[in-house]
């Protein structure tokens, strides 16, 4: 039974684009369907733009494996393509003596993941590296970096199109079905109003992953994972950055703490916090300034409330809610559930950007 394309990828965030690139480079005909008017408009555009080392995640988890492998693939790709990035490093800090054991635990966890370049340093060593930071100890990660994520996504699009693939924006998949003889039929709305058939379907729809899964008849219910939304605010530092590298406190429930990152232009920002919400809503709550200030001044005492300017918000698609342990990435094939050719990538939050090329390598191996 002939089809219009070998593969359709739903979602043109960084993970969807990486998946489409891998499929196109393998010689398959690929179409990427994106409901927004441009690529990477949601989680991929509203994050800290950090290349993570692979420190925080349980050994043998997909997050750990994809992050460590993805970091290496990412640095190689960025170097070859001359995409802006900087291996600036990161220091995770203990503000109180009671937190030092957390740093030791993180170092052991990272080693179990194959990250062996971390260095536990004392308070004076932290001060020598980051004079503005107050800490009794730190864990230095030299392989952490920052990236121009939009330039990276544009490069992925270029790879897709050079390999004969197509990106279609304003193309929301309104419904679809698993075809009785194999493959999938998708009905696309927006500007394009068409139906297409494909042999293989990859759903990498981020915040809309659950919604898209439920729109396609025949996808087994166990493959459609309910999502929870964790909103994060970012405040910009309204003065020159005093930091030469990223500064993270020890992790908190639901995230990595209100940390300081820098972009490629040297601008410092703080965030994200964790605010559980029921629906996608990017409105900025300026009343959270006080919480940010109280959190940040523990380790950056020279800050004032007036130094913080609202910047942006982002939303993480989580598979675990408040009070629950963090969930792993879910990247699964429908082969064993009677839907061959289906791949769903769900709950891809941090370190999704870092992991994107590794996720593509892993997921497209299901196609054989």
Query: Using 50, 70 and 90 to split pLDDT, how confident is the model at 257?
Result: low
Closest Cα partner for 82 from 147, 169, 137, 126? Answer: 147
Each residue of 73-97: pLDDT tens digit? Answer: 999 999 999 999 999 999 999 999 9
Going from the N-terminus, what domains does the chain have, and what CATH number goes with each? 5-46+150-226+326-367 (3.50.50.60), 90-142+228-318 (3.30.9.10)
Prediction pTM value = 0.96
- In angstroms, the Cα distances linking 135 to 28, 52, 184, 303, 308 are 52, 22, 55, 15, 21
H or E element in which residue 65 lies: helix 62-81
> Which neighbouring-strand residues pair with 313?
233
Each residue of 162-193: pLDDT tens digit? Answer: 999 999 999 999 999 999 989 999 999 977 79
Each residue of 183-234: pLDDT tens digit? Answer: 999 999 977 799 999 999 999 999 999 999 999 999 999 999 999 999 999 9
Q: Which residue has the higher pLDDT, 257 or 95?
A: 95
- What is the C-alpha to C-alpha distance for residues 96 and 136, in angstroms, rounded to an integer? 6
**Residue 135: DSSP 8-state:** -
Question: Are residues 341 and 182 in contact, defined by beta-carbon separation less than 8 angstroms?
Answer: yes
- What is the C-alpha to C-alpha distance for residues 175 and 80, in angstroms, rounded to an integer? 39
């Amino acid at each position: 039974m002939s089809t219009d394309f070998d593969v359709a990828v739903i979602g043109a965030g960084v993970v969807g684009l990486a998946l489409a690139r891998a499929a196109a480079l393998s010689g398959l005909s690929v179409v990427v369907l994106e409901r927004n008017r441009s690529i990477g408009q949601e989680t991929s555009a509203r994050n800290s733009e950090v290349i993570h080392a692979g420190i925080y995640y349980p050994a043998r988890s997909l997050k750990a494996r994809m992050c460590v492998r993805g970091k290496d693939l990412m640095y190689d790709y960025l170097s070859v393509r001359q995409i802006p990035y900087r291996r600036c490093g990161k220091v995770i800090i203990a503000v109180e003596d009671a937190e030092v054991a957390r740093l030791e635990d993180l170092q052991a966890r990272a080693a179990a993941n194959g990250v062996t370049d971390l260095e536990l340093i004392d308070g004076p060593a932290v001060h020598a590296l980051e004079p503005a930071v107050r800490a009794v100890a730190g864990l230095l990660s030299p392989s952490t970096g920052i990236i121009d994520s939009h330039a990276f996504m544009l490069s992925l699009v270029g790879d897709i199109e050079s390999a004969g693939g197509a990106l279609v924006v304003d193309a929301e998949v309104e419904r679809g079905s698993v075809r009785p003889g194999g493959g999938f039929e998708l009905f696309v709305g927006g500007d394009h109003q068409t139906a297409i058939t494909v042999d293989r379907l990859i759903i990498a729809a981020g915040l809309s992953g659950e919604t898209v899964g439920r729109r396609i008849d025949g996808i087994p219910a166990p493959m459609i994972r309910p999502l929870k939304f964790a909103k994060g605010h970012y405040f910009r530092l309204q003065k020159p950055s005093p930091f030469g590298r990223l500064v993270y406190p020890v992790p908190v429930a639901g995230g990595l703490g209100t940390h300081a990152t820098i972009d490629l232009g040297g601008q410092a920002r703080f965030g994200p916090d964790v605010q559980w919400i029921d629906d996608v809503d990017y409105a900025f709550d300026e009343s959270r300034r006080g919480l940010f200030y109280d959190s940040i001044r523990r380790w950056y005492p020279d800050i004032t409330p007036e130094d913080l300017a609202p910047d942006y918000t982002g939303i993480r698609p989580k598979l675990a809610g408040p009070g629950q342990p963090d969930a792993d990435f879910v990247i699964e094939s429908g082969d064993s559930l009677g839907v061959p050719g289906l791949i769903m990538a769900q709950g891809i939050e941090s370190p999704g950007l870092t992991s994107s090329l590794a996720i593509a390598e892993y997921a497209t191996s299901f196609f054989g």
